[in-house]
Copies of this chain bind each other. A is one copy, B any other.
Amino acid sequence: MTIMPYAEPVSEAGSEQVTSLAAQIGRVAAPLRSQVLDVLREAILSFRFAPGQRLIERELIDMTGVSRTTIREVLRELAAEGLVKTIPQKGAVVVALSPEEAEELYELREVLEGHLVKKFVERASDAQVVALRRAFTQLESVVERREGTVAVLKAKDVLYEVLLTGAGNSALRASLSQLHARVSLLRASSLSSGPARPPEAVAELRVLVEAVEAREAGAAADAMVTHVRAAARTGIEAIRHSSHALVAATS
């Protein structure tokens, strides 16, 4: 989930109608630190920093224009999120996943996303179910029209967002967001997840959405597990192929 860039506004318990004002005065300047955090996280997840690449403080300073103090604090946060690894006396390195680790992550995803879906079915309002359907339709059309990988990812994110919100468990949301971040790191390793997957993924998700609409928690969860498992297969396969290079790069 990406830690919120802006701090939780200390809810101005004041009168309602000042919302716009509160927004204005409440959060004019986000802590510099969190802005940098966002930028770097984004850079890693969009593969502008390759897995295994060293993140040298000096260079980050030059790139961002903030002081070393700030950079270092940000690096600690990224490390805690699992996006970079800090090697003693060596500094921060973008995490490169081994096939085994990837497998572990997918196993976790299976469990958590299965649960996510189950809770969504239990708790989501009808409106949220509709939103899910809408998000799915959107994804479908993006895939059909063969828009870029980025567009597909974005559509998927929307869909997940609907699920996370509907499931109503912020701890689950936090865990899954972190997990997703790390998994998409894997995507960076294997470059493309293979061109054949998206259509299949859509088919799998269609099953999911329909089960949700029928309010069948078990079936929906199963569909999600199936989906994740399929994604795992290709994902791990891909990383396995490119792993030689990675091993070289990492060591």
* A residues in contact (CB < 8 Å) with B: 3, 7, 10, 28-29, 31, 69, 72-74, 76-77, 79-82, 86-89, 101, 104-105, 107-108, 111-112, 115, 119, 169-172, 174-175, 179, 182
Contact = CB atoms under 8 A, between A and B. Distances in A.
A222 to B, nearest CB: 15
Contacts of A31: 88
A111 B171 CA distance: 12
A174 B74 CA distance: 21
A76 B80 contact: yes
30 contacts: A3-B80, A7-B86, A7-B88, A10-B87, A28-B88, A28-B89, A29-B88, A31-B88, A69-B72, A72-B73, A73-B73, A73-B76, A74-B76, A76-B77, A77-B77, A77-B80, A80-B80, A80-B81, A82-B174, A101-B170, A101-B171, A104-B169, A104-B171, A105-B171, A107-B119, A107-B169, A107-B171, A108-B169, A108-B172, A111-B111
A215 B169 CA distance: 32
A105 B170 CA distance: 9
Contacts of A115: 111
Copies in the complex: 2
Contacts of A73: 72-73, 76
Most interface-central of A79, A101, A115, A171 (chain B CB within 10 A): A171
Nearest to A82: B174
Contacts of A74: 76
B101 A172 contact: no
Contacts of A170: 101, 104
A205 B137 CA distance: 46
A101 B174 CA distance: 12
A172 B76 contact: no
Given A7-B87, A31-B88, A76-B76, 18 more contacts: A3-B80, A69-B72, A72-B73, A73-B73, A73-B76, A74-B76, A76-B77, A76-B80, A77-B77, A80-B81, A101-B170, A101-B171, A104-B172, A107-B172, A108-B169, A111-B111, A112-B112, A175-B179
